Amino acid sequence: MADLVPNESAADGGPPPTAVDLKVEYQQSGVKDILDELDRELVGLEPVKQRIRETAALLLVERARKRLGLAHETPTLHMSFTGNPGTGKTTVALRMANLLHRLGYIRKGHLVSVTRDDLVGQYIGHTAPKTKEILKKAMGGVLFIDEAYYLYRQENERDYGQEAIEILLQVMENQRDDLVVILAGYADRMDRFFESNPGFRSRIAHHIDFPDYTDDELLTIGEMMLSDQSYRLDAEARRVMAQYITARRRQSHFANARSIRNALDRARLRQANRLLDTSDGPSSAEELSTITAADIRPSRVLAAVKATEEQAS
C-alpha cells in the first residue's frame, strides 16, 4: 500500500513519501477554514471565490509535488484585482495573504496596503527610499497597491512614478519567493496601465475580476453590517432600504458595499436624533437597536426619486 503521509517531509532525513493524501492536506493546512470563512463573510462574488478555490488547489498540489520529490517550480503568485470600489478587493487580499501563509508560500502572511502617495516622492531622490521602505515592510507577505494605475502618469514628464515602477518590477522578479504583489483598480484603467507597462503584465499570473453586487446582495450586506453592530432593520425599514439601494445604484459615484455602509451610518445618525427627540423615559435595547423606515426615508436619494415621480405625474 502506498505510503500516505499527510504532514511530513524528507527534511528530517528520511525518505520522501510515495504518496500524499490531498484531502488530509486540505483539512490540516487550514485552507478549508479560510475558504469556508470567505463563503460566510463575503456575500456574492462567486467568480472570485471560484478563482481563489482554484488557486488554493494549485498551490496545494504544487506543495504535494515538492514533498514527493517531483520536478516543481514556485508558481508566480503576483495578482491583479479589477472591479469597482466597494466590491471586496481589500478583504479578499487579506484572505489571500492568510491562505498563502498557511500553505507556506509566504513567511509572515501580513498585508501592507498602499497607494501611489506611499511609494512616489515629490522631488528627486525621494521616491527610491520611500518605495524601498514599503517593500521592506511587505517582505514575507503581500503588498496590495490600490489604484495602481496612478503610479504611471505619462502626461507628466517630471513625474517620479516610473522610478517606483522600475523598483517594483525588479523586486517582483528577483524576490518573488518572498513577496506577493497585488495590483488593484478599475478594469479599464488597469488594462491601459498594463499596455503602458508590459513588464507588469508579464509578471502577473492571476487576473481576477470583481463583479458589482446585485440589489439583493447589497441588502444582505447592509443587514450583516448592522448585525455586526447589534442593529437591525424592521420590516418597513428593510423595504425602504431596498428602494434606496435600487435608486442609489443608478446614481454616479456608487461604491457598492462602501456606499451602503455610508447610508447606514447616516440612518443610525437619524435614529439617534429621533430617539432623543421622542424619548420621555427609559429606552429598551430593542428601541436602541432598531432602524425604522423613518430613519431612511429622509435620504436625499429617496427625496430625489419622490420629486421625479411627482414631476412625472
Specify the higher pLDDT residue, 23 or 47.
47
pLDDT 10s digits, 16-38: 677 888 888 888 888 888 888 88
Domains and CATH numbers, the chain: 15-210 (3.40.50.300), 215-312 (1.10.8.60)
The model's confidence at residue 70, banded by pLDDT at 50, 70 and 90, is confident
The span from the CA of 229 to the CA of 288, in Å, is 11
Task: Please say whether the beta carbons of 92 and 42 come within 8 A.
Answer: yes
- pLDDT beyond 80 at 277: yes
Best CA proximity match to 304, nearest among 259, 240, 265, 251: 251
Task: Please say whether the beta carbons of 205 and 181 come within 8 A.
Answer: no
C-alpha of 313 from chain center:
44
The span from the CA of 234 to the CA of 226, in Å, is 12
- pLDDT beyond 50 at 190: yes
pLDDT 10s digits, 223-275: 999 999 999 999 999 999 999 999 999 988 899 999 999 999 999 999 999 99
Q: Are strands 232-233 and 290-291 parallel, antiparallel or unpaired?
A: parallel
Name the DSSP letter for residue 209: E
**C-alpha cell of residue 226:** 448592522
End-to-end alpha-carbon separation of the chain, Å? 80
Dihedral (Cα; 220, 224, 226, 231), 10-degree rounding: 100
Residue 96: per-residue pLDDT: 92
Best CA proximity match to 52, nearest among 24, 82, 28, 79: 79
Radius of gyration of the chain (CA): 24
Strands, E, within the chain: which ranges?
79-83, 111-114, 142-146, 180-185, 206-210, 232-233, 290-291
The model's confidence at residue 201, banded by pLDDT at 50, 70 and 90, is confident
